[in-house]
Amino acid sequence: MKNNAHPHSRTPARRLPILAVLAAGAALLAAGCGALPDKPARATLYDFGPHLAAAAPASANPAALPPIALAEIDASMRLEGTQLLYRLGYADSNELRPYGQARWSLAPAQLLHQRLRDALAMRRTVLGPEESATIARTEGRVPDTLRVSLEEFSQYFESPASSVGLVRLRATLIRGGSGGDRVLAQRSFALQRPAPSADAAGGVKGLAAASDAAVAELVAWVDQAR
């Protein structure tokens, strides 16, 4: 028998399976989106803060004191990154552990270099390695060079609820001359300051305070050693 139905009268019947498939796909997509993991939390960045604690009385005439060249601060490989590190002294003080969601804005050696440079600049002209080389080449004199090695920079937990910021460094004052370099003085510094809380934020405050104390002692030592 000839089918006399209008062609368009069969369209709804053909579309039903397609619409069902699309609806099922949309439901699966919505369910999949709901199962996606949340974005990873962004690490909190810390530095020493915008204000420099008074490391030493500012000189009325910085030019009256001899200039000094400040080399970049050396650090062990473990301290070259930006991780905020801590030690559990009551468990295993030999293990350095990183906080998962806390970072320094710069490597600790760079933050300490900025602090030290600013403190020295209150007393005298501070030169970089290239500026020091220029003076040696044009004026025939070599400014003394301060070299610093950062050996420890961590939050040290004496107990689960008590910790300190611990900074340990070694400073060497070098004088160059026609006969080569010679060591004028060398000294190690170890400073610690209480952390107000047993977490990353407390460790940052303790380390910033210990760094300022180390800078103050280092600047005073440079003045005496010269």
Write down the pLDDT at residue 93: 93
Could you tell me where the beta strands, DSSP code E, fall in the chain? 44-46, 68-70, 74-75, 83-88, 92-104, 126-127, 144-159, 162-175, 182-194
Domain that holds residue 201: 45-225
Q: Considering the domain boundaries, does residue 149 fall inside one?
A: yes
Q: Considering the domain boundaries, does residue 203 fall inside one?
A: yes
What single letter denotes the amino acid at residue 125? T
Write down the pLDDT at residue 55: 45
| pLDDT (tens place) for every residue of the chain, 226 residues total | 444 444 444 444 455 455 554 555 555 455 555 555 556 678 899 999 976 544 445 555 555 688 899 999 999 899 999 999 999 999 999 999 999 999 999 999 999 999 999 999 998 999 987 776 676 666 667 789 999 999 999 999 999 999 999 999 999 999 877 677 899 999 999 999 999 999 999 999 999 999 999 999 999 999 988 6
Q: Considering the domain boundaries, does residue 128 fall inside one?
A: yes
Q: Considering the domain boundaries, does residue 122 fall inside one?
A: yes
Q: Considering the domain boundaries, does residue 162 fall inside one?
A: yes
CATH no. for residue 159? 3.40.50.10610
Q: Considering the domain boundaries, does residue 23 fall inside one?
A: no
pTM, to two decimals: 0.76
DSSP of 98-130, one letter per residue? EEEEEEESS-HHHHHHHHHHHHHHTTS-EE-HH
Domain count, the chain: 1
Q: Considering the domain boundaries, does residue 159 fall inside one?
A: yes
Q: Considering the domain boundaries, does residue 6 fall inside one?
A: no
